[in-house]
């Protein structure tokens, strides 16, 4: 079973928070007070990350199936999904392959396919210097130690990049598939994200039947939603989930 935490009143609608590649469920810690007032939050650590079960290789399908097993364990037949980056790819896979399990979908900092134009930008995520520059090396070193010791985080990030852009990547949906999605969907992206091309996010918006789009100005893959933009982010998420 995936390492996870649950927050909020069990009577509230469930929202599953799926973190980005190389991180753990702790990525969502800043958002728990704001989102947890009106929702029951289910916050797992992805397969092969942190204290969740080890995986020899990563696949979006396996990530999604592990989330569904967790929801079965918690007796949650249907939930809202909010996925960040890799978590967005996982949430999209669940929505496409198991639409009966998804009430509403929020895809945050993620596209629907692997794009050659972003390969170099994504590959930098496997470089230790990148995490050092972000000031996250000590965090990922500590969080991923259960996967094999203090340097396990290097292998975790390498597997993430291979999953998202390797020759066997299963993150390659089509717009035709997206056009059949029944779930109301909110897309959130930065206008200068080198990892998620803006034109692909706009294509998703124009294709998904019931889609809303929020583009953050002057924002890269880091939109500041965990700090100065958090109030706006939480307000937009809650407004979308409350809409009938």
Full set of structural domains in the chain with CATH: 4-115+171-239 (3.40.50.1820)
pLDDT, tens digit (0-9, with 9 covering 90-100), for 132-167: 999 999 999 999 999 999 999 999 999 999 998 866
The reply to whether the predicted model has a pTM over 0.85 is: yes
**Cα distances (angstroms) measured from residue 147 to each of 36, 126, 153:** 29, 16, 8
HSE at residue 230, side-chain half, CA atoms within 13 A, is 12
Alpha helix segments (H runs only) across the chain:
32-35, 60-73, 86-97, 119-123, 128-133, 137-143, 152-165, 175-179, 198-207, 230-242
Which one, of 27, 34, 25, 30, lies nearest residue 6 by Cα? 25
What's the rounded mean pLDDT across residues 79-106? 98
Q: State what percent of residues in the chain have pLDDT above 90.
A: 91
- pLDDT reading at 114 higher than 90: no
Q: State the chain's mean pLDDT as an integer.
A: 96
- pLDDT reading at 108 higher than 90: yes
What would the two tokens of residue 111 be?
A: 């596209």
Residue 17's beta-bridge partner residues? 82
CB 16 within 8 A of CB 6: no
What's the rounded mean pLDDT across residues 83-105? 98
What's the rounded mean pLDDT across residues 77-94? 98
Q: Which has more pLDDT, 170 or 207?
A: 207
Which is it for the CA torsion 40, 216, 106, 119, positive or negative?
negative
- State residue 167's pLDDT score: 67
Q: State what percent of residues in the chain have pLDDT above 70.
A: 99
- Parallel, antiparallel, or unpaired for β 40-44 and 4-7? antiparallel
């Amino acid at each position: 079973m995936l390492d996870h935490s649950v927050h909020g009143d069990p009577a509230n609608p469930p929202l599953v928070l799926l973190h980005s590649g190389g991180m753990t469920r702790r990525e969502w810690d800043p958002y728990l007070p704001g989102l947890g007032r009106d929702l029951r939050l289910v916050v797992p650590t992805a397969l092969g990350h942190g204290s969740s079960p080890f995986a020899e290789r990563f696949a979006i399908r396996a990530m999604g199936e592990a989330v569904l097993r967790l929801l079965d364990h918690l007796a949650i037949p249907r939930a809202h999904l909010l996925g960040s980056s890799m978590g967005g790819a996982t949430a999209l896979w669940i929505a496409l392959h198991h639409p009966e399990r998804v009430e509403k979908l929020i895809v945050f900092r993620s596209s629907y396919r692997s794009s050659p134009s972003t390969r170099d930008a994504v590959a930098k995520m496997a470089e230790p210097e990148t995490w050092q520059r972000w000031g996250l090396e000590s965090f990922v070193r500590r969080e991923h130690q259960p996967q094999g010791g203090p340097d396990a985080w290097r292998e975790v990030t390498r597997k993430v990049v291979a999953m998202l852009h390797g020759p066997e990547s299963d993150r390659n949906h089509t717009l035709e598939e997206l056009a059949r999605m029944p779930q109301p969907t909110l897309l959130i992206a930065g206008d200068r994200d080198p990892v998620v091309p803006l034109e692909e996010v706009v294509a998703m918006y124009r294709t998904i039947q019931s889609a809303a789009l929020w583009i953050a100005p002057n924002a890269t893959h880091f939109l500041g939603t965990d700090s100065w933009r958090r109030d706006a982010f939480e307000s937009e998420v809650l407004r979308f989930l409350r809409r009938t």
